[in-house]
Structure 1
Amino acid sequence: MIIGVLMLVEIISAFETSMVYAAIPTFIQEFDSDAATVGWAVTAFLLVAAASAAVCGRLGDMYGRERVLVVLLGAAALGSFISAIGDGIGSIIVGRAIQGVAGAILPLCIGLAREHLPAAKVPVAVAVISGSAVAAGSASLLVAGVMLDHASWHMIFIVAAVYALLALLLVLFVLPWRPPAGTTQRIDYVGTVAFAPAIAAVLLGINKSGTWGWTDARTLGLIVGGLVVLALWVLWELRVTDPIVNVRMFTDRKVALTMLATVSIAVGPLGVTTMIIPLILQTPTTAPFGLGISPTNAGWLSFIGSMFGFVCTPLSGRISRAVGSRASMLLGTALFTISSAMLIVFHDSVVGMMAMIITVSVGTAFAFTALPNLIVEAVPESHTSEATGTNSVVRTGGQGIGTSIATMLLASSAVGGVSSVTGLNTVATMMVVMGLVTFGFTLLIRPGRVSV
């Protein structure tokens, strides 16, 4: 029952993350915009998700994970409602930023699983809960496609709001609650507030470099200023008694290498594929690339492909339990790298893209579920949500960087406002390179199993 509830709750996080990808082509046409601008509906969500994972993972360890989940689900519903009633890309971005609090749901669910379940069942439980995001992410593309074809983009957010409220009721009335243990720790408000703007400034500078130029004072000011704030943030986190992100955990070899692998795979294939696949499937055939598939049919292709990945998630957990999560991560990274190369070859073929979607879905099943298990192997139970929350910070921040760079590359190579094959191949090459980097980092991780 506990695993089932946590899977259903995690689905809203995956749904909130992925649903807008299917609507990107629609938003570009509806608001007469470009990929770089509309991409902020994704980037804003990911930036807030990163900060939320850092803050709420710690708050869950301190004050009770169930209580924090209730607040997050209520905020996610509110953000979806704001996007639903909006009439422009600006209001959608604001709503998406509020929805970003859902980024903390997965680390809280992993913490609850480890809190309630015997140690022997934790690897499979973590894999299944994390793996529900694989199916839910593609299901959200299908739901969004149906809404876009038969209703309107507003309905995407209404569906998300309703589901968030249903998940909130599950946490309130079905999930077992435990009394808070109490804590003397303080909340690191400075660290909380400084993180997201620092990353946002760097991303905005990268995003605008195609328009302003790399040597423009505005571009350099945003990028350099953001990096300076980020460096000061790290120094602050090292000095404060109760940091919102315990950067000292990066001194542990296994944690540090897992975080580096997380960054590289998030900037590359994990962060970009969900955005690029709907764009290729739904872009009209009159464009330099695009298969001209309707949002509904594109959603079906993604959903069917994701089922291959979802059925592999228990296998990933069993591998983690038997020989450690490094093996699952290596397999997932290899499949991610192969799928990225397939994007270059098969972007003009429906059959080829279907094969690519299946490959990337299975890769996601292994890599996405291996990352939290690698963290669980390295930290004690009492710090599970904090550590997996930090990993989510790194992952979602990396995804934000990856999608921002990818949309910038597509926009900068566009001809007459339409993205070119050259831009697409550049993005795919970036994904391949980051996949190979991730594979290298993972090889350096020492094998191990979940600590009791």
Structure 2
Amino acid sequence: MSQHVVADDQRTRSASATGATGRRGNPWWALVSVALGVIMVGLDGTVVSIANPRIAEDLNASLTDLQWITNSYLLALAALLIFGGKLGDRYGRKRMFLIGVVGFGLSSLAIGLVGNIVGIIAFRALQGAFGALLMPNTLAILRGAFPPKELNRAIGIWSGASSVSIAGGPIIGGLLVEHVSWESVFYINVPMGALALGVGLAVLRESQSESVRQRHDLPGILTLSGGLFGVIFGLIKASSWGWTDAKTLAFVFGGLVVLALFVVIETRVSAPLLPMRLFTNRSISVGSTVLVINFFALFGVLFFVTLFLQNVQHVSPIGTGVHILPLTLAMMIMGPISGHVTERFGPRPPMVVGLTLSGVALLLLTRLETDSGFGALWPSLLMLGIGMGLVITASAEAIIGNAPVDDAGVAGGLQTTALQLGGVIGTAVLGSVLSSRVGSVLIDKLTGAGAPTDVANGLTGSNELISQGVAPRVTGASESVQTAVATGSHEAFIAGLHTSLVVAGVATLVAAVLALLVQRGSNSDGTTVVVH
């Protein structure tokens, strides 16, 4: 039978934390359960980046294909996260979390079995849809389980669990790609999902909001999803169509118009998908914007540094994972530390410091050259990981800590949407920037390296391949000409990488300035919670 508890936010969560008996309903066991789901999603993100070069080789995938393998997942996730949080608020956060866990595992299995690019992209989108049920409800479950004084610590551990999976992903992915197959990196989600399901069924208590019994906001769902798709599709295709091409502008501006329509709809419906009242809180608005920019930089850098290591420097998949460890280990360690810092000082200091460190680290990465050793890479990656780890936990406090507990699922969806949307925009925009820069310098780099002019002109159609860091083979060319082509191609890739890093670095420093406007969450709104 349901027990209806009407109380303010603090008393509700304190009761949840202190009144639980045994494992079921205990907040720390709830944290273990949701952490397993977060680890599964985190592993998937980093192992895919390690597998991308091998997928391209085995399935003859272009740079755009690889972007869509990443972005079909991120786009579906970003478009549906708020809806997933809303479903959790209405039908039960435990229920939606566990449905997401099962669906994520099964769609991962399908990705490994399908055997073609189109199928992989389609199942990655389905995987993202189930992730949209899983991720926002992890934060909503924590918000309902922990009292305010322990919430930041719990979110720090939640962030640390995500970072552990991000840290382990490159190593696990490298081992699987190198010694089993690229398909196997998706199969690992099956046992992980089974474990998360078993623990969740054993320890989680159901919770939902009494204030979301209205009809679903179908116009809001359609306009949000459609608008995001239009913008992101246009950004991805800009590298091949051109930034000023009519088709690029039509998709990008058309998507922005649809998103504007979404905002209008949300201000007029009785049960909006995303209540616009949340954005009247400055910390929620700024925190969401900052998080988009933060992950704009992270996903873009991770995507292209992986291509740099494997395709330009010919580092093995396992070696690539080791090279990225300074970034991922620093994120893992800083998650819980950031929780303590945020609890003591509020979200503003760790966000400002973290974003500043990240911006400087990105600009320092422009020192990379084709023959740079590990010593030129690890200090910047370490600094970037420290910065990212600080921002993730602090931004959760800025967004979720400032939202009423009745909107916990929506706020969790908003926080995770900002994260994933940043990843989508990062791989799309920075990919287009890199590809455009490669195209503009390619002939000069090839001829400067000693390739004949006619050979250089003939390779302009290989822009997408070179934008992956791969040097094309020239049929019938001498070894010296082929060496010149490889040198020039890699130098063109490096030029594009540098430009994309500057864009990411400057954007992150701008976000550091915006973070000065963030305040500590009050967590003081009244609420109605249903506990089963």
TM-score normalised by length of structure 2: 0.79
CA contact (8 A) 1:321 1:449 kept: no
Query: What per-residue deviation string (whole Å, max 9, x for no partner) do you get for residues 422-446 of structure 1?
Result: 1101110011111111101101223
CA contact (8 A) 1:328 1:366 kept: yes
Kindly tell me: are residues 35 and 451 of structure 1, through their superposed partners in 2, closer, same or farther at Cα, counting changes over 3 Å?
A: farther
Q: Matched residues in 1 for 2:353 and 2:62: separation?
A: 36
2:259 to 226, 230, 250: 230
Structure 2 residue runs without a partner (length 5+): 1-28, 443-461, 468-492, 526-532
Kindly tell me: are residues 433 and 304 of structure 1, through their superposed partners in 2, closer, same or farther at Cα, counting changes over 3 Å?
A: closer
Kindly tell me: are residues 182 and 245 of structure 1, through their superposed partners in 2, closer, same or farther at Cα, counting changes over 3 Å?
A: closer
CA contact (8 A) 1:47 1:397 kept: yes
62-71 or 413-422, which deviates more: 413-422
- Give the secondary-structure state (helix, strand or coil) at the position aligned to 2:177: helix
Q: Matched residues in 1 for 2:209 and 2:163: separation?
A: 32
Q: Does 1:56 align with 2:84?
A: yes
Kindly tell me: are residues 161 and 396 of structure 1, through their superposed partners in 2, closer, same or farther at Cα, counting changes over 3 Å?
A: same
Q: Does 1:281 align with 2:309?
A: yes
Q: Matched residues in 2 for 1:215 and 1:389: separation?
A: 33
Q: Does 1:153 align with 2:226?
A: no
Aligned to 1:164: 193
CA contact (8 A) 2:35 2:161 kept: yes
- Give the secondary-structure state (helix, strand or coil) at the position aligned to 1:292: coil
CA contact (8 A) 2:282 2:517 kept: no
Aligned to 1:371: 395
Kindly tell me: are residues 210 and 273 of structure 1, through their superposed partners in 2, closer, same or farther at Cα, counting changes over 3 Å?
A: closer
Q: Matched residues in 2 for 1:183 and 1:440: separation?
A: 36
CA contact (8 A) 1:35 1:410 kept: no
How much does 1:183 deviate? 4.6
- Give the secondary-structure state (helix, strand or coil) at the position aligned to 1:33: coil
Q: Matched residues in 1 for 2:507 and 2:66: separation?
A: 24
Kindly tell me: are residues 277 and 134 of structure 1, through their superposed partners in 2, closer, same or farther at Cα, counting changes over 3 Å?
A: farther
How much does 1:304 deviate? 5.6
- Give the secondary-structure state (helix, strand or coil) at the position aligned to 1:39: helix
Q: Does 1:204 align with 2:228?
A: no
CA contact (8 A) 1:36 1:408 kept: no
Q: Matched residues in 2 for 1:105 and 1:331: separation?
A: 30
How much does 1:182 deviate? 7.9
Aligned to 2:32: 4
Aligned to 1:393: 417
Q: Does 1:421 align with 2:481?
A: no
CA contact (8 A) 1:325 1:449 kept: no
2:62 to 13, 34, 38: 34
Considering only CA atoms, is the larger Rg found in Structure 1 or Structure 2? 2
How much does 1:178 deviate? 4.9
How much does 1:220 deviate? 2.5
Query: What per-residue deviation string (whole Å, max 9, x for no partner) do you get for residues 264-316 of structure 1?
Result: 2232x233222123222212xxxxxx332110121133346422332222221
Q: Matched residues in 2 for 1:179 and 1:212: separation?
A: 46
Q: Matched residues in 1 for 2:506 and 2:403: separation?
A: 30
Q: Matched residues in 2 for 1:173 and 1:359: separation?
A: 39
Kindly tell me: are residues 172 and 270 of structure 1, through their superposed partners in 2, closer, same or farther at Cα, counting changes over 3 Å?
A: same
Q: Matched residues in 2 for 1:248 and 1:391: separation?
A: 15
Aligned to 1:335: 357
- Give the secondary-structure state (helix, strand or coil) at the position aligned to 1:355: helix
CA contact (8 A) 1:16 1:99 kept: no
Tell me the matched-pair count: 445
AA aligned opposite 1:318? H
Kindly tell me: are residues 208 and 63 of structure 1, through their superposed partners in 2, closer, same or farther at Cα, counting changes over 3 Å?
A: same
How much does 1:72 deviate? 0.8
2:432 to 388, 392, 408: 408
1:71-82 mapped onto 2 (5 Å cutoff): 71-82=99-110
CA contact (8 A) 1:19 1:141 kept: yes
1:50-199 mapped onto 2 (5 Å cutoff): 50-101=78-129, 102-178=131-207, 183-199=212-228
CA contact (8 A) 1:34 1:411 kept: no
How much does 1:386 deviate? 1.1
How much does 1:447 deviate? 4.8
Q: Does 1:383 align with 2:407?
A: yes
CA contact (8 A) 2:155 2:396 kept: yes
Task: Tell me the C-alpha RMSD between the 2 structures.
Answer: 2.1
Kindly tell me: are residues 400 and 359 of structure 1, through their superposed partners in 2, closer, same or farther at Cα, counting changes over 3 Å?
A: same
296-305 or 87-96, which deviates more: 296-305
Q: Matched residues in 1 for 2:261 and 2:118: separation?
A: 30
Aligned to 1:286: none
Q: Does 1:430 align with 2:459?
A: no
Query: What per-residue deviation string (whole Å, max 9, x for no partner) do you get for residues 392-447 of structure 1?
Result: 22221222111111222233315443131111011100111111111011012235
307-316 or 396-405, which deviates more: 307-316
Q: Matched residues in 2 for 1:451 and 1:343: separation?
A: 43
Identical positions, percent: 26
- Give the secondary-structure state (helix, strand or coil) at the position aligned to 2:136: helix
How much does 1:63 deviate? 1.9
Q: Does 1:252 align with 2:281?
A: yes
How much does 1:181 deviate? 5.3
AA aligned opposite 1:239? R
How much does 1:226 deviate? 1.5
Aligned to 1:439: 512
How much does 1:119 deviate? 1.8
Structure 1 residue runs without a partner (length 5+): 284-289
